[in-house]
Amino acid sequence: MFRRRLPEWLVLLLPAFIVIAAVVLIPLIFSLYSSFTPYKLTRPSTLWRWIGTANYERILTDAKFWAAFGRTVLFLTIVLNLELILGLCIALMMNKVTWGQRTLRTILMFPMMFSPILVGFQFKFIFNDNIGLVNNALQSMGFDVALPWLVDGKLAMFSIIFAEVWMSTSVFAILILAGLFAMPRDPLEAAKVDGCTPWQTFRHITLPFLMPFIYIAMTIRSLDVARAYDIVQIMTGGGPARRTELLWTLMSRTGYVDARMGLANAMGYVSILLSIAFTVYFFRKLSAARAELGMGG
Closest C-alpha among 148, 206, 215, 172 to residue 79? 172
Residue 47 CA to residue 274 CA, distance in Å, equals: 26
Residue 195 CA to residue 109 CA, distance in Å, equals: 36
- State the nearest-atom distance from the C-beta of 137 to another protein, in Å: 8
Q: Which is nearer to another protein, 155 or 223 (CB)?
A: 223
| Residue 142 Ramachandran class (φ > 0 left, ψ -120 to 50 alpha, else beta) | left
| Residue 140 Ramachandran class (φ > 0 left, ψ -120 to 50 alpha, else beta) | alpha
- State the nearest-atom distance from the C-beta of 114 to another protein, in Å: 7
Q: 231 with 163: CB under 8 angstroms?
A: yes
- State the nearest-atom distance from the C-beta of 195 to another protein, in Å: 17
Q: Which is nearer to another protein, 95 or 190 (CB)?
A: 95
- State the nearest-atom distance from the C-beta of 242 to another protein, in Å: 17
> Exposed, middle or buried: residue 134 (CB in 10 Å: 0-12, 13-18, 19+)?
middle
Coil, strand or helix at 280: helix
Residue 169 CA to residue 44 CA, distance in Å, equals: 44
Q: Which is nearer to another protein, 157 or 265 (CB)?
A: 265
- State the nearest-atom distance from the C-beta of 101 to another protein, in Å: 11
Phi, psi of 281 (to 5 degrees): -55, -50
Q: Which is nearer to another protein, 190 or 295 (CB)?
A: 295
Q: Which is nearer to another protein, 190 or 206 (CB)?
A: 206
- State the nearest-atom distance from the C-beta of 136 to another protein, in Å: 4
Q: 117 with 234: CB under 8 angstroms?
A: yes
Q: Which is nearer to another protein, 136 or 201 (CB)?
A: 136
